[in-house]
Amino acid sequence: MPNRTPRPRRYLMCRPTHFDVTYSINPWMHPDKPVDPALAIAQWERIRDVYTGLGHEIAYIDPLPGYPDMVFAANGATVVDGRVLLAKFRHVQRAGEAEAYDAWFAANGYRAVHRPALVNEGEGDFLTIGRRILAGTGFRSDPGAHDEAREHLGIEVVGLTLVDPRFYHLDTALAVLSDEEIMYFPEAFSASSRALLERLYPGAIVAGEEDALVFGLNAVSDGRHVVLPEPATALAAALAARGFEPIGVDVSELLKAGGAVKCCTLELR
């Protein structure tokens, strides 16, 4: 069994003060289905408390009224080596969030900040693994944004095409576990992207549909601890068998917007 060493992380998070489902931009969102706002806040606080309990540092961006999806901080940017590629949202309902992230990075001393020309939804579609970014496209991020990421962030970018609208962001179908390991749901990808993933990560944990549908892949790993939605029990067992420590959390309210653990978490590298 490999000895898993956690690496301390810095995460940007946004309190779900204005969280709600008032529009539908992915198949999980049903504005007629009520959300429990207090429970959403409690679930988000639990995720944050797990991170701080593990020794990770949390930075906060202020939630904006009128932006019910802003809790999904992963979508705000991609940060590698202190260089920031800001997001440009696909849907008008979230477009204004980009300016808040722009202001946050400016106020927090980041200098190499790039405002993108093409749509990219931050770490929703750009997942950093070692010195490589796995970059999703198909529903949200423009494939041309992969070139912007390569140019501005200066690391290798590997494009992957998503084909199932339920898994509309890469981070709903794939999670980075360490600098060379992933877990993913193959059926969410085009045939050529599946072949590519098999070639690049032959030892990957392959998720079943049941775990993928409860957003088990919307997980955050520090190299040892993997925080993921509680109902993804088969994935938790597979992680434990590889020497990871799975930590299940309840994300019932966040799921109503089509998000879970990773969506709430933007890593500041």
- From the list 221, 222, 248, 220, the residue with the least C-alpha distance to 234 is 248
Which parts of 229-258 interact with ligand ARG (CB under 6 A)? 257-258
With CB under 6 A as the contact rule, which of the stretches 7-15, 23-31, 232-240, 242-250 interacts with ligand ARG?
23-31
Closest contact distance (angstroms) between CB of 1 and ligand ARG is 31
Contact predicate 108/115, CB 8 Å: no
Which parts of 108-127 interact with ligand ARG (CB under 6 A)? 124
Q: Does 259 bind ligand ARG (CB under 6 A)?
A: yes
Q: Catalytic annotation on 169?
A: yes
Closest contact distance (angstroms) between CB of 259 and ligand ARG is 4
89: tokens are: 């949202």
**Nearest CB to ligand ARG, comparing residues 69 and 181:** 69
Neighbouring CB atoms inside 10 A of 108's CB total: 12
**Nearest CB to ligand ARG, comparing residues 4 and 80:** 80
Specify the residue for token string 């590997």. 158
Report the alpha-carbon distance of residue 153 to residue 85 in Å, rounded: 7
**Nearest CB to ligand ARG, comparing residues 164 and 242:** 164
Residue in 85, 214, 263, 268 binding ligand ARG, rule: CB under 6 A: 263
Report the alpha-carbon distance of residue 67 to residue 229 in Å, rounded: 24
**Nearest CB to ligand ARG, comparing residues 15 and 94:** 94
Which parts of 122-181 interact with ligand ARG (CB under 6 A)? 124, 169, 171-172
**Nearest CB to ligand ARG, comparing residues 94 and 152:** 94
Closest contact distance (angstroms) between CB of 30 and ligand ARG is 11
HSE on the CB side for 240, CA within 13 Å? 10
Q: Catalytic annotation on 263?
A: yes
Alpha-carbon dihedral of residues 104, 105, 108, 112, nearest 10 degrees?
A: -170
Residue in 25, 145, 149, 183 binding ligand ARG, rule: CB under 6 A: 25
**Nearest CB to ligand ARG, comparing residues 78 and 172:** 172
Catalytic residue among 56, 146, 152, 169: 169
Catalytic residue among 14, 146, 225, 263: 263
Closest contact distance (angstroms) between CB of 241 and ligand ARG is 26
Binders of ligand ARG: how many residues, by CB under 6 A? 16
Residue in 69, 97, 102, 253 binding ligand ARG, rule: CB under 6 A: 69
Known catalytic residues are: 169, 263
Q: Please give the residue ranges that form the binding site for ligand ARG (CB under 6 A).
A: 25-26, 29, 69, 72, 74-75, 94, 124, 169, 171-172, 257-259, 263
